[in-house]
Amino acid sequence: MTDYIASLNEPQREGVLTTDGPCMLIAGAGSGKTRVLTFRIAHLIQDKGVDPFNIMALTFTNKAAKEMRERIEKVVGHDARNLWMGTFHSVFAKILRSEAQHLGYPNNFTIYDTDDSKSLLRSIIKEMGLDDNVYKPNTVYNRISAAKNRLIGWQDYLNNAELMGDDAANMRPDIGKIYKAYALRCFRSGAMDFDDILFNTDKLFKEHLDVLNKYQHRIHYILVDEFQDTNLCQYFIVRKLASVRQNVCVVGDDAQSIYAFRGADITNILNFERDYPDLKIIKLEQNYRSTQNIVNAANSVIKRNRAQLPKNVWTANEEGNLIEVIKATSDNEEGRLIASSIFEEKMQHQLKFSDFVVLYRTNSQSRAIEESLRRMNIKYKVIGGLSFYQRKEIKDLLAYLRFALNQQDEASFRRIINLPKRGIGDSTVDKIVVAANDHGTSIWEIIQNPAPFVGGRVAGPIEDFVALIKRFNIDVQQKDAYDAAFEIAKGSGLLRELYEDKTVEGLSRYENVQELLNAIKEFTDNPEREDKSLGSFLQEVSLVSSQDEDKDKDPDKVTLMTIHMAKGLEFKYVYIAGMEEDLFPSQMMLNSRADLEEERRLFYVAVTRAQKRLFLTYASTRYRFGRLKNCEPSRFLDDIDSRFIKMSTKYAGIESAPPQSQYAKNLVNGIRKTISSAPAPKAKQPAATAYKTPDDFKPSDTNGLKEGMKVEHPKFGFGTVVQLDTSGADRKAKINFNDVGEKTLLLSFAKLRII
């Protein structure tokens, strides 16, 4: 038996060693589920001699797969490279790439991202003459996505009004027709959206038993991490693949199921027990990640949910500090308090910036936090948000690359036909698309002979475009991904157009395109890669999610991300920002107990990311949707047993009136109880001075204000006075703020600080 097995506790070891037959590990956060999965694979290869080609492991992000592969490599060496390992989407897209012809798709099918799908839906809705206020592309997209995740094709959807649910009543009876048009258009474009990758894999295995059979015999062992967040379609795929050998191992935690809104279905756990009567169920209860206080706090939170499998998570780790609640008066102050706390804790305990994470419910919360970190020169990275591959210039070049490879692709065609400008307007494009639809053919067929459909003036430019694409297509077939992409970037005129734009934005767009070319070069230069074609690169890139992107070479940074993205990760110090009613729990999740319970599980996930220290912060006012709102502390603060939590005195904001809400009162009372039973608190420390409180911003301290001066405002940040108006009774200043642009403020109210 190898060393790594000795480092496991008894039930973990059982999870690693019982390799054959169906197995399910449902266990609490931080109890080593992912570790068991990793070691199980190492054990299969190292001790049982299983060929890595016969093992498939499905993870939640590509990054998680990469880390797991690296760990396995440490035990078994380079062989780990051959594992089928990645997200459901990346593993099955690869399979589809070699089997697509069975479904009538080209092997180099295009993968549409959410933007591509929504813009295609927008044109379909427009062409059908429907009102896009009723049929919002976003809503329609979600409906179609939900249907596909439940394995409902357009035929069923169209013929079964019940499946439409509320939509029939909500005046959206045509949603089925849109689904049909969308599905056919994608098919004709040789394109699959994200959901199609799974939907079509299931279809492939259902309709082509010979193909299923091939993979059933190839995959001897199948393992799934984060099983609680799989959807029905994913479950069916796993079940089909595992049905011969039944060597399937799933690990998860029902208390961490947080993707129901995207179709994840917790009943998969129950189905699994039903579908595999010989199932071995292993429970892990010892948490190795967090201190006792954090584990106990997390337990007290999740206990409030009704729908939960009973678990008794405990830890032998140190007791640790109490969880601290930090109150701020505004979102900006919250940012400042977090930044100064990070700074101080880092200095005091010799930590790295990468030991810290700030978690929040929605992406928009990152702004205030980023601003404060920047001001204190704290390095950080934001995971998620607008990803590199969603930037316009990157999407433009990718569209060229995709179209060079697959000329059926409508979304890419629309993007590039007039880029750089060649005088082909929207109406011409519409005519081409309509002609293709009317003739049941592709756009490519139409533009090879456009004369009957478009005005004579544009026939010439269209011919040139066709010739260009034909040339690119030859490049794609004859060259590796980098050489082909470089030819296309140059030949299309995109590179020159960006180069000639000498504005700051233009320059950064040019650099981004260069960065994409660099990424392609890295791809082709990788000696381990067998398939260096552009098709293979594009497939990989289409499935890069913003979670996976981490191009940063400097790893020592504070991480900022939403809680959804933090699943499976761990950090020494965790800050959960925005602990306020209507923000967390989100206003949109208060309609039913089930929604609230999902939101509470999200809180549980956030709390359980922390190893050593956990800070919960909230603001009593916050700008939301452009308006300043008073906020109440989140009910989740109250969910935590008061023995494990205290109000921070060290990082307190300014003194303020006692909180008004019942939640906050209970919390403060609870904390009072704790404090009175605890040793007498030390003399109150002065608030940290590294940050400013709104009291530093005195109104009317602006007599010496002059045009051109730099000022700081508690809400708007830094800016420059553009104009002063002292003529009226109310003195006004027009100020150009770095982040929010120009504002005219009344000086008697504006809390400005001259800097």
Active site residues: 33-34, 225-226, 256, 609
Indicate whether 29 belongs to the interface with ligand ATP (CB under 6 A): yes
40, interface contact from Mg ion, ligand ATP, none, CB < 5-8 Å by kind: none
The answer to whether the annotation marks 34 as part of a ligand binding site is yes
428, interface contact from Mg ion, ligand ATP, none, CB < 5-8 Å by kind: none
Shortest distance, CB of residue 374 to ligand ATP, whole angstroms? 30
- Select from 89, 220, 289, 715 the one that contacts ligand ATP (CB under 6 A): 289
- Select from 176, 252, 568, 578 the one that contacts Mg ion (CB under 5 A): 568
State which residue, 73 or 632, has the beta carbon closest to ligand ATP. 73
- Select from 11, 23, 24, 33 the one that contacts ligand ATP (CB under 6 A): 33
Q: Which of residues 17-56 bind Mg ion (CB under 5 A)?
A: 33-34
The amino acid sitting at 1 is M
The answer to whether the annotation marks 242 as part of a ligand binding site is no
Contact predicate 295/610, CB 8 Å: no
Indicate whether 228 belongs to the interface with Mg ion (CB under 5 A): no
Beta 323-328 vs 645-647: how paired, if at all? parallel
State which residue, 34 or 257, has the beta carbon closest to Mg ion. 34
Indicate whether 568 belongs to the interface with ligand ATP (CB under 6 A): yes
State which residue, 17 or 687, has the beta carbon closest to ligand ATP. 17
Indicate whether 30 belongs to the interface with ligand ATP (CB under 6 A): yes
Q: Which of residues 415-444 bind ligand ATP (CB under 6 A)?
A: none
9, interface contact from ligand ATP, Mg ion, none, CB < 5-8 Å by kind: ligand ATP
Cα gap 112→716, rounded to integer Å: 38
- Select from 167, 253, 480, 639 the one that contacts ligand ATP (CB under 6 A): 253
Q: Which of residues 592-621 bind ligand ATP (CB under 6 A)?
A: 608
- Residue 568's CB is within 10 A of a number of other CB atoms, namely 19
User: How far from each other are the two terminal CA atoms of the chain, in whole angstroms?
Assistant: 66
| 248, two tokens | 């399937």
State which residue, 568 or 578, has the beta carbon closest to Mg ion. 568
Q: Which one, of 544, 612, 600, lies nearest residue 572 by Cα? A: 612
Backbone angles phi, psi at 116, to 5 degrees: -60, -45
Cα gap 228→533, rounded to integer Å: 36
State which residue, 402 or 612, has the beta carbon closest to ligand ATP. 612
288, interface contact from Mg ion, ligand ATP, none, CB < 5-8 Å by kind: ligand ATP
Contact predicate 359/583, CB 8 Å: no
Pairs from 472-481 (Cβ < 8 Å, separation ≥ 24): 472/400, 472/403, 472/404, 473/404, 473/405, 473/407, 475/404, 476/404, 476/405, 476/533, 476/534, 476/535, 480/524, 480/532, 480/533, 480/534, 481/520, 481/523, 481/524, 481/532, 481/533, 481/534, 481/536, 481/537
Question: Which residue carries 């190893």 as its tokens?
Answer: 611
Residues in Cβ contact with 278 at an 8 Å cutoff, skipping those fewer than 6 apart: 21, 22, 246
Residues in Cβ contact with 464 at an 8 Å cutoff, skipping those fewer than 6 apart: 422
Shortest distance, CB of residue 567 to ligand ATP, whole angstroms? 7
Contact predicate 273/24, CB 8 Å: yes
Report residue 511 CA to chain centroid gap.
Answer: 25
Residues in Cβ contact with 277 at an 8 Å cutoff, skipping those fewer than 6 apart: none
- Select from 4, 118, 142, 288 the one that contacts ligand ATP (CB under 6 A): 288
Shortest distance, CB of residue 604 to ligand ATP, whole angstroms? 10
Shortest distance, CB of residue 516 to ligand ATP, whole angstroms? 33
Tell me the window of 4-12, 385-393, 449-457, 721-729 that interacts with ligand ATP (CB under 6 A): 4-12
How many residues lie near ligand ATP (CB under 6 A)? 19
Contact predicate 95/56, CB 8 Å: no
| 740, two tokens | 């929010």
- Select from 22, 32, 86, 585 the one that contacts ligand ATP (CB under 6 A): 32
* Residues annotated in a binding site for ATP: 27-34
List of residues contacting ligand ATP (CB under 6 A) = 7-9, 12, 27, 29-35, 253, 256, 288-289, 568, 570, 608
List of residues contacting Mg ion (CB under 5 A) = 33-34, 568
* Residues annotated in a binding site: 27-34
